[in-house]
Amino acid sequence: MTISKQSKKRRLVPPHVESLEAYKPGKPPDELKKELGLERIINLASNENSLGAPKSVAKAIAEGVANLQSYPESGGLTLRAALAERYRVKVENVAIGSGSESILANIIRAFLHDDDEVLTTEGTFIGFYVLVNAKGIKMVKVPLKDYGFDLEAISAAINERTKLIYLCNPNNPTGTIFRRKEFEKFMSLVPEHVLVVLDEAYYEFAFKEPSYPDSMTYRLDNVLTLRTFSKAYGMAGLRLGYGFGHDRLIDFINRIKLPFEPNILAHHAGMAALQDRDFLLKTIKMNEEGMAYLTTELDRLGLRRIPSYANFIMIEMGSQEKAMRLFNGVMRRGIAIRPLPAFGLPTCLRMTIGTEEENRLLVRALEETLKAE
Ligand SMILES: Cc1ncc(COP(=O)(O)O)c(C=O)c1O
């Protein structure tokens, strides 16, 4: 039967899939370079680690290539045990996946059905919106408050169909955090049957802040923590993320998960990265220094920045037109930063903190663009 004949009788895809749009990647760097006549493009648009990946990881991958003919260890017990030891939990409390986004996808697939609703904020990680929409689940979004999660408004919006609440701390793309006190009050108001997904993709950049509520210090039965090797460990291209939660929740996630994700090289790489404390410390130091420098410089340029606890800074330009002018000017000078209409923040721009040189070039590009106006 052809698709067109079939579609007369039955829909090819459900309406919520019909209305989705495929992810639109940016132009490949080589194409952009040609178009703009540039020799080099610095990507400060994706919150990647400008230090690259740890050398220890490259070595582990090279060694792991000898095992490429084999499927990865089913259940990922070695890597899960290493994570369990590091975070002082049981192996049964640890999930791994091809990026934390894959674990998020499995959580959505495992727990949401029928008239369940999810609750979150406007202006948070777009990947979450996409996954929920792809499943056709109703999503309620509360407005941001001062560019951060309004936990009071979120708790007030819980209804009898609310099944899952997504929080992101620090929040992408705003960089803000909610504090221990706010989180504790919030959790006291969330019914136990409501799952809270706490996305801590940028945890390593925030944990030093004393008021930051590291979800692993609470061990709440209805909280699932998500973390990643993509950011602080510089391994975004490998796709390796992990999560923690109550045994029962992790068991359901494992039932849904593709049995052999993440791939075997990611397993090797994760084990090596966990041992590489020096790389992590170097990343955190680079970020702290970059944050201090960019904070001072953005203030000097009169750009309105939102205080950030992550490896990026968001600025508020006041209008989409101004934001796009600055974005285009910086792009023409060889630096990609992130406009945020898809996140629901069209008047803002997000820039990743890079190496000292990248940060200097970013400031120069911002300054030149502003002066040219
Ligand atoms: C808040 C947040 N969660 C999850 C992810 C995805 O992480 P991963 O690469 O582990 O899938 C990102 C990536 O940008 C992110 O910003």
Question: Looking at the chain, how many residues does it have?
Answer: 373
If phi > 0 it is left, if psi is from -120 to 50 it is alpha, else beta; for residue 37 that is left
**Substitution site in 83, 96, 101 for ligand 1 pocket (most atoms within 8 Å of beta carbon):** 101
Collect all residues with Cβ–Cβ distance below 8 Å to 102 and sequence separation of at least 6: 239, 241, 257, 261, 262
pTM: 0.95
Architecture of domain 26-52+278-372: Alpha-Beta Complex (3.90)
Read off φ and ψ for residue 62, nearest 5 degrees. -60, -40
Task: Please give the Cα distance from 355 to 344 (Å, whole number).
Answer: 28
Task: Please give the Cα distance from 202 to 287 (Å, whole number).
Answer: 12
Residues contacting ligand 1 via CB (< 6 Å): 47, 99-101, 125, 127, 168, 172, 199, 201, 228, 230, 236, 241
Closest of 160, 148, 81 to residue 314, by C-alpha: 148
Query: Domain spans of the chain?
Result: 26-52+278-372, 55-275
**Substitution site in 125, 226, 263, 312 for ligand 1 pocket (most atoms within 8 Å of beta carbon):** 125
Looking only at the bridges linking them, the beta strands covering 348-352 and 338-339 are antiparallel
Going by the DSSP 8-state scheme, the letter that residue 232 receives in this structure is T
Task: Please give the Cα distance from 272 to 269 (Å, whole number).
Answer: 5
Q: Per-10-residue mean pLDDT for the chain, 373 residues long?
A: 61 90 79 91 96 98 96 94 97 98 98 97 96 96 98 98 98 98 98 98 98 94 98 98 98 95 97 98 98 98 98 98 98 96 96 98 98 91
Task: Please give the Cα distance from 164 to 167 (Å, whole number).
Answer: 10
Q: Which fold has domain 55-275?
A: Aspartate Aminotransferase; domain 2 (3.40.640)
Which residue has a Cα nearest atom 16 of ligand 1? Answer: 172
